[in-house]
Amino acid sequence: MAKNLLKSGTVQIEEIRPVDQSTHPSRDGAPELEPAVDTYKTGSIWIDPETHHIMQIGPEKKVTKSNAIYAVGAMTRGQIIDASMVRGIAQATSRIADDLVNYLTKGIGK
């Protein structure tokens, strides 16, 4: 499954860029990737660490968070690999649940 998600472009492997070469806002406010000069692939799925939404590169190299796909576990950078990983996965899943509840309550208030 992971291979198919990568091949289709649904998920990206996170790349580390030097601080002076990260994302910059474009005219319409959406971030754009600068051309990569010195980067390396971490081997991890690229996610927003606060919400665990996967990050995607759209048209014109604009970076967006997926509205529907989350990722947790060993394939995301930042998860501490220990004997069971239960605590880290539970914390990440809690963030996802909070994000979904926030989304649903905003929809109810409209």
Give, as one character, the DSSP assignment of residue 73.
S
| 70 burial type by CB count under 10 A (0-12 exposed, 13-18 middle, 19+ buried) | buried
**Parent domain of 76:** 2-108
Domain count for the chain: 1
Instruction: Give the confidence band of 84 by pLDDT, cuts at 50, 70, 90.
Output: low
Number of CB atoms found within 10 A of residue 96's CB: 15
User: Sign of torsion, CA 72 73 79 84?
Assistant: positive
Is the pLDDT assigned to residue 39 strictly greater than 50?
Answer: yes
- Asked if residue 69 lies in contact with residue 10, where contact means CB atoms within 8 angstroms, the answer is yes
The predicted structure's pLDDT at residue 21: 46
Distance CA 86, CA 96 (A): 15
Q: Is the pTM value of this prediction over 0.85?
A: no
Q: Which residue has the higher pLDDT, 17 or 73?
A: 73
